[in-house]
A and B are shown apart, each in its own frame.
Chain A
Amino acid sequence: MAGRLLLRACTQTTLRLRSNVVARPLHRAMSSGKGIPTDDEQATGLERRALQALKQGKDPYSMLKPKEYAGTKADPHIVPSIGNQRMVGCVCEEDNTAIVWFWLHKGDAQRCPSCGSHYQLVHHELPH
């Protein structure tokens, strides 16, 4: 490995010395203005997908605090899910230590068996 590093260092130095003849531009073609790329230009993988989604106002990776809903029939808690069901834990009243867990299925809104708040499953796609 050290041999490879040394070889790479030597070839790179030689190439750089040779290319000094041509005026080397300070900026790379992609980076904005003064030479350091932006996230928009260089982010990749999951980071890129997460940032691009946030820019469009979406939050597929649940990075932000969930929105607050009234939990009524007219304004149910919206529960995003990548599948047909998702587990919900209802803290019926603030500071309750006994959480009410239940599966929320695709279809009509369901109500918490303890406090009756309405929950509605909504499908969301993962960006890819």
Chain B
Amino acid sequence: MAHQAHAYHMVDPSPWPLTGAIAALLMTSGLAVWFHQHSMILMAIGTVLMLLTMYQWWRDIVREGTFQGHHTPPVQKGLRYGMILFITSEVFFFLGFFWAFYHASLAPTPELGGCWPPTGIFTLDPLEVPLLNTAVLLASGVTVTWAHHSMMGGDRKQAIQSLTMTIVLGFYFTVLQAMEYVDAPFTIGDGVYGATFFVATGFHGLHVMIGSIFLAVCLLRQIKHHFTSGHHFGFEAAAWYWHFVDVVWLFLYVSIYWWGS
């Protein structure tokens, strides 16, 4: 049998990078078409193509790792580096919005009344729903750690229960935040306050939804016995991402909701 003498994974040719690139093209040009020609069809095709690409590409990775055994320790190490680098890039993404917030709020312009919060803005009480949201995300950080330890200890029932609880808490956060959005006394158009508030918390909420989906996929895989007690990097990546989402919220809460109120 002809085999490789190294532990790395030389991946087979795949169409998904191409479909992903085409999806990105259609989504961005579709966005421009939507703005100028009031037609959403190109953007919709691009989005569908992106979702199909994501599903099939990640499905293939699960097949290569779990079912075919290509994810040897060195390959797994590479995946870890990859996830860490990706999360780092996301940190920088959020750093930009925090920069915008602090730029606007540390030296408020005369147009705002020279004060922060700006004149006429009624901020949300940080001790109400935002504090509950903080508790919800912190608790979800505990449950996801519980899930990890259950997995390492081989406990299937507890791993499934704690992972489910994590997803429920994430969903609860999303619902609470959506309600806050609907009932907020200010909008994204309300000056730099509204802009920084909704862009920063909005992108955070998007990341909560993405993280919840990632965890849900892990739950499905755990139920289907994909993970072993020693090798469950997909779950670890989801947990890292979830902790990142939690930390971003803590910064948002302290900066925008609390200090900024």
Contact = CB atoms under 8 A, between A and B. Distances in A.
B68 interface: yes
A35 B156 CA distance: 5
Interface string B59-88: 000000001111111100000000000000
Contacts of A28: 225
B6 interface: yes
Contacts of A33: 154
Given A126-B5, A128-B1, A128-B3, A35 B69 contact: no
Interface residues of A, number: 29
A66 B72 CA distance: 18
B159 interface: yes
Contact of B7 (A35, A44, A61): A61
B230 interface: yes
Interface in B6-58: 6-7, 9
B3 A34 contact: no
A68 interface: no
Contacts of A26: 156-157
Contacts of A56: none
A50 B72 contact: yes
B140 to A, nearest CB: 21
A43 B69 contact: yes
Contacts of B229: 36-39
Interface string A38-51: 11011111111011
Contacts of A45: 68-70
A46 B68 CA distance: 8
Nearest to A50: B72
A15 interface: no
Contact of A42 (B3, B73, B228): B228
Nearest to A59: B7
B245 interface: no
Interface string B151-182: 10111110100000000000000000000000
A34 B153 CA distance: 8
Contacts of B68: 44-45
B69 A37 contact: no
A20 interface: no
B231 interface: yes
A45 B72 CA distance: 9
A100 interface: no
A39 B154 CA distance: 11
A36 B6 contact: no
Contacts of B73: 50-51, 63
Contacts of B227: 36
Interface string A87-103: 00000000000000000
A42 B71 CA distance: 13
A84 interface: no
A32 interface: yes
B69 A46 contact: yes
Given A36-B154, A61-B72, A63-B74, 20 more contacts: A31-B156, A31-B225, A34-B153, A35-B154, A35-B157, A36-B227, A38-B228, A38-B229, A38-B230, A43-B228, A45-B69, A46-B69, A47-B72, A50-B7, A60-B5, A61-B4, A61-B5, A62-B7, A126-B3, A126-B5
17 contacts: A26-B156, A26-B157, A27-B156, A34-B154, A36-B154, A36-B159, A36-B227, A37-B228, A38-B230, A45-B69, A46-B9, A46-B72, A50-B73, A61-B4, A62-B5, A63-B72, A126-B3
